[in-house]
Amino acid sequence: MKMFEVISEPLDINKYHQMTINEHQGAVCTFTGHVREWTKGTRTVHLEYEAYIPMAEKMLAQIGDEISERWPGVITSIGHRIGKLEISDIAVVIVTSSPHRTDSYRANEYAVERLKEIVPIWKKEIWEDGEEWIGDSRKYHSSVEEK
C-alpha cells in the first residue's frame, strides 16, 4: 500500500485513514474532495483528470515531508483519482493524523492548498455545450520559489 498515490479506480477512504493511525495519534482529519455539478452557474456533466503520475506521487510525498517539518508528529496520506469522474465522485482523499487535533486540521488544509499548487494533475470540465482544461487560478507553481 502506498501512502501517496494516483490511481484510476474509486478511492477507498478507509485505506488512507488506516495508514495514518498508530498509538501516538489521537486525532485523524479526513478531507474528501468531490466532483461538483454547479460552478458559478455552469453545469458540469462530468470531469476528466489527467496526471503525470510518477511526478505527481513524488510531489504528494513532498507535501507529506513539508507537513512533517512544519507540524512534527503529523502523519499524512493522500490519494488522488484520475480518469473520468461523475458528479459527487471522490477526486481526492487527504488524511492527516496527529497526537492532538489542532495540528491535524492545520496540516490537512495545508495539504490541499499545496496540492493545488505543485502536483501535476489536471482537471478538464465537460459541460453540456463544451469542455475546457482548468488551470490554477492562484499563484503559479510556488514550489520553485524559495520557501
Partner 1 sequence: MEIKVFASIKEKVGSDTIDLFVGDSISVGDLKNHIFVDYPELDGEVFQVAKNEAFVKDDELVTSSDTVALIPPVSGG
Task: Output 48 or 99, the one with its CB closest to partner 1.
Answer: 48
Could you tell me the smallest distance in angstroms from the CB atom of residue 61 to partner 1? 11
Helix 101-118 and helix 53-70, axial crossing angle in degrees, nearest 10 = 150
Residue of the chain from 1, 9, 130, 135 that contacts partner 1 (CB under 8 A):
135
Distances (CA, A) of 62 to 6, 10, 65, 82, 98: 14, 23, 5, 20, 18
Greatest C-alpha distance within the chain:
52
Cβ burial of 24 (10 Å; 0-12, 13-18, 19+) is: exposed
Task: Output 10 or 72, the one with its CB closest to partner 1.
Answer: 10
Told to check if 11 binds partner 1 by CB under 8 A, we report: no
- H/E element, 90: strand 90-98
Residues 57-76 close enough to bind partner 1 by CB under 8 A: 58
Residues 105-124 close enough to bind partner 1 by CB under 8 A: 112, 115-124
Chain residues that interact with partner 1, rule: CB under 8 A: 33, 49-52, 54-56, 58, 80, 91-92, 112, 115-124, 133-136, 140-141, 143-144
